[in-house]
Amino acid sequence: MKFNQYYLECLSHASYLIGDQTTGRAIVVDPQRDVGEYVADAAEAGLKIELVIETHFHADFLSGHLELAQATGAKIVYSSVAETEFESLGVADGERYSLGDVTLEFRHTPGHTPESLSIVIFEHADDKVPYGVLTGDTLFIGDVGRPDLLSSIGFTREELANQLYDSLHNKLMTLPDSTKVYPAHGAGSSCGKNLSTDLWSTIGDQKACNYALLAPDKPTFMDLVTEGQPPAPGYFIYDAILNRKDRDLLDETALPTSMTYGQVIEAIDAGAMLIDGRDPEEFAHGHLRAALNVGLSGRYAEFAGSILPHDVDIVLVVDPGYELEGKNRLARIGFDRVIGYLDDPYKVMFLHRDDVQVGSRLTAQAFNERLAEIDDIQIVDVRNPGETGDGIIAGAVTIPVGQLPARIDELDLTRPTVVYCAGGYRSSVAASLLRQRGFADVSDVLGGYGAWILTVQSA
């Protein structure tokens, strides 16, 4: 058996290539939208991809089933419960599929979504103990899939949590303890609240350590998995719907269009958004006045999708050579309206210094000094609720960065404002959004809450 796990750090997304090397037949499960790596790896291993299997309609990324089907001729597979606008096959609960000796068993595991599916992998058709199980978003390492996402239209979180409990205990925990668990996401994903950094585990280990599986009864389980979930980024419902639809395909090799400063300004005046993908420190040293900072070094697509509507044109500002990466990473969440990138951005900023502003970034000590000097500072904590439980800076307004566009009217744009997060990435995103919306005096805190609490403890 050929078994490859692919892990996309910026979206905490795991996908899989599984093949039978005796027959040369293979499948891909939950592919990312830029599918070139799967195609190349299959060709190198002498495998032909014949199925693209989706464990459910994903909300946190736009899956590559259509791209991979076009590239390989593979058929697209979902649970028989799912309905798609494109041609797909539905597999029944308990149905088996042979790649040769390698055999798949499909199990319907609703709960995260109504159509969720898990795939049990047998290395040999007559094995009593499976090699592993691909659990999609039903079972994570250290967590289970959240049942409250808006993507499950027509179902309450209580109905889905009830189904999730049954799926876990009747469909997955019945597997032998040595069965390896391979989920679709890891730590950092908003599809759960307690995901491990480990990329695989076993059924036995999860029985012993997973907080949700240790719940003594269904009501306790339902309470545990529905409380304290991070706010879902704004693009989730868009992607959950788009993953059902027939849509345009991504050309992952096509560079976006080069644009002059004049063309960029004209596009901004017409409603386009300017996304600066440089690191927060580089951005703070100088950026075009209209720019929002979402650094390529972090969870770029996720936070761009958290602060941008999906139906606007986008112009990129990136260091030369990163234009294709910027476009493709936005395409992974279905944000395809990248109309171009600013050519030679450093020269443009030098020649148009009247349109360049710097961003104020305060050390924790400088922030404390400003607090002592200015009475009317507005403090904004843009961390998620699960992060603020250990404490916040006194007087701070808590607005997760993904909720900031909708809740910006809760803030006073005339007051000096300081934004902080856990480390400084999200606060730069938020501070740039506030400046773009007319806040005249905005700073963010280098090192975030962690750096600030250290200054308090050492005082």
- Asked whether residue 20 is assigned to any structural domain, the reply reads yes
Residue where the block lists tokens 């006045």: 289
CA dihedral for 147, 153, 159, 160, sign (positive or negative)? negative
The token pair at 110 is 């609703």
- Asked whether residue 249 is assigned to any structural domain, the reply reads no
Amino acid at 117: L
What integer pLDDT is reported at residue 459 of this predicted model?
Answer: 65
- 178: three-class secondary structure by DSSP: coil
> In terms of domains, do 309 and 441 share one?
no
> In terms of domains, do 321 and 416 share one?
no
10-residue stretch averages of pLDDT, the chain, 459 residues long: 97 97 98 98 98 96 98 98 97 98 98 96 96 98 88 77 97 98 92 88 98 96 87 89 97 97 98 98 96 97 95 97 98 98 97 96 95 93 89 95 95 97 96 96 96 85
Please tell me the number of Cα atoms within 13 Å of 360 on its side-chain side.
16
- Asked whether residue 328 is assigned to any structural domain, the reply reads yes
Give the global pTM: 0.94
What integer pLDDT is reported at residue 386 of this predicted model?
Answer: 82
> In terms of domains, do 128 and 194 share one?
yes
Domain boundary among 357, 387, 416: 357
- Asked whether residue 251 is assigned to any structural domain, the reply reads no
What integer pLDDT is reported at residue 153 of this predicted model?
Answer: 67
> In terms of domains, do 175 and 104 share one?
yes
Looking up residue 439, the CATH number of its domain turns out to be 3.40.250.10
Domain boundary among 357, 388, 415: 357
Structural domain for 127, as ranges: 2-242
Q: How far is CA 119 from CA 27, 37, 195, 389, in A?
A: 12, 22, 20, 36
What integer pLDDT is reported at residue 174 of this predicted model?
Answer: 98
> In terms of domains, do 164 and 198 share one?
yes
> In terms of domains, do 112 and 144 share one?
yes
Looking up residue 193, the CATH number of its domain turns out to be 3.60.15.10
What integer pLDDT is reported at residue 232 of this predicted model?
Answer: 83
Q: Count up the domains in the chain and report the number.
A: 3
> In terms of domains, do 304 and 408 share one?
no
Residue where the block lists tokens 């148009």: 352
Distance CA 18, CA 25 (A): 9
Residue where the block lists tokens 């308990």: 94
> In terms of domains, do 333 and 384 share one?
no
Domain boundary among 300, 324, 357: 357
Distance CA 101, CA 94 (A): 18
Count of other CB atoms within 10 angstroms of residue 73: 10
Distance CA 433, CA 411 (A): 13
- 378: three-class secondary structure by DSSP: strand
CA dihedral for 140, 182, 12, 48, sign (positive or negative)? negative
Secondary structure of 221-288 in the HEC alphabet? HHHHHHCCCCCCCCCHHHHHHHCCCCCCCCCCCCCCCEECHHHHHHHHHCCCEEEECCCHHHHHHCEE
What integer pLDDT is reported at residue 458 of this predicted model?
Answer: 80
> In terms of domains, do 283 and 407 share one?
no
Closest CA to 340 of 321, 323, 356, 319: 323
> In terms of domains, do 353 and 364 share one?
no
- Asked whether residue 248 is assigned to any structural domain, the reply reads no
- Would you state the torsion angle of the CA atoms of residues 83, 87, 92, 95, taken in this order, to the nearest 10 degrees? -160
* Angle, CA 106 vertex, CA 105 and CA 107 arms, to 5°: 120
> In terms of domains, do 234 and 86 share one?
yes
Q: How far is CA 411 from CA 168, 364, 380, 436, in A?
A: 43, 22, 9, 14
As a whole number of Å, the CA-based R_g of the chain is 24
What integer pLDDT is reported at residue 456 of this predicted model?
Answer: 81
Phi, psi for residue 379 in degrees, rounded to 5: -105, 130
Residue where the block lists tokens 């289970």: 144
